[in-house]
Amino acid sequence: MKLQPRHYLMCRPTYFTVEYVINPWMDPSVPVDNAATITQWEKLVETYQSLGHTVEFIDPLPGMPDMVFAANGATVIDGKVLGAQFRNVQRADEGPAYSAWFEDKGYPVQAPKHVNEGEGDFLVTENYVLAGTGFRTDPGGHAEAQEWFGRPVISLQLIDPRYYHLDTALFVLEGDQICYYPGAFSPGSQAVLARLFPEALLATAADAEAFGLNSVSDGLNVIVPPQATHLIGALKERGYNPIEVDLPELLKGGGGPKCCTLEIRK
């Protein structure tokens, strides 16, 4: 395993709050400490920068409290961008905002014809694009991604509403090495994952509940919530370097490290 410098896009949680319910983690009756949210997010940014990764920023826009979850804003592979189209009306304006950022930077951007929620449901290994469906992204979005990126797209069915995006149930370690929580997937999708990734690291239910599968790996270092204790131990056993970053305020919106992190792959 080897650290691979990454290029990330992030959005400051200036307007983050929980004012509606679109996933089981959200409860508007639970207060959000905005100052603490920003401090926790800044720690995540500082961690990436300390590891030598490049971080760019998109300006947060009022009226878009979930814009901090940058991973949902697009998918970028080989310098090409597939824009996002959100299922929930509350987040509908985020997709165009992220696409406009990439267009302004000169990236080729494909406007989506089907619902897809960016890297929330598209995760990239060396040989595949793993694509989640069941709660947010339409299967038609999977076909659209395969055509645009020219890479094999593997559809995976999510069945537990707590893990409504693929990036809450699976993350890529390096190459074609992944970590996932089997209980988030249908039996058929579990069989596909076992066939394609026989050496995958399997997480426990407790890891998943701690949002441990919403981790970010650069091939060596893994940014992981500290509550995912079994996963942290398993990563160490495999030779990875887990770095604990706690984002409890953002978890109130159903987000963790990966949700805040859109990778720009060139």
142 catalytic residue (yes or no): no
From the list 53, 142, 179, 259, the catalytic residue is 259
Beta carbons within 10 angstroms of residue 94's beta carbon: 25
251 falls within a domain: yes
* CATH number of 218's domain: 3.75.10.10
Q: Which domain holds residue 13?
A: 7-263
- CB contact at 8 A, 179 and 213: yes
260 catalytic residue (yes or no): no
Q: Which residues of 227-265 are buried (b: 16+ CB within 10 A; e: fewer)?
A: bbbebbebbeeeebebbebbbebbbbbbbbbbbbbbbbe
For the stretch 54-111, pLDDT in tens is 999 999 999 999 999 999 999 999 999 999 999 999 999 999 999 999 999 999 999 9
What is the pTM for the complete model shown?
A: 0.97
Which pLDDT score, from 0 to 100, does residue 108 have?
98
From the list 53, 142, 165, 179, the catalytic residue is 165
93 falls within a domain: yes
26 falls within a domain: yes
For the stretch 3-35, pLDDT in tens is 999 999 999 999 999 999 999 999 999 999 999
2 falls within a domain: no
201 falls within a domain: yes
The residue-averaged pLDDT of 199-220 equals 98
- CB contact at 8 A, 101 and 113: no
Torsion of CA 31, 37, 39, 40, to 10 degrees: 120
146 falls within a domain: yes
Number of domains making up the chain = 1
Q: Does the pLDDT of residue 1 top 90, yes or no? A: no
82 falls within a domain: yes
The residue type at 5: P
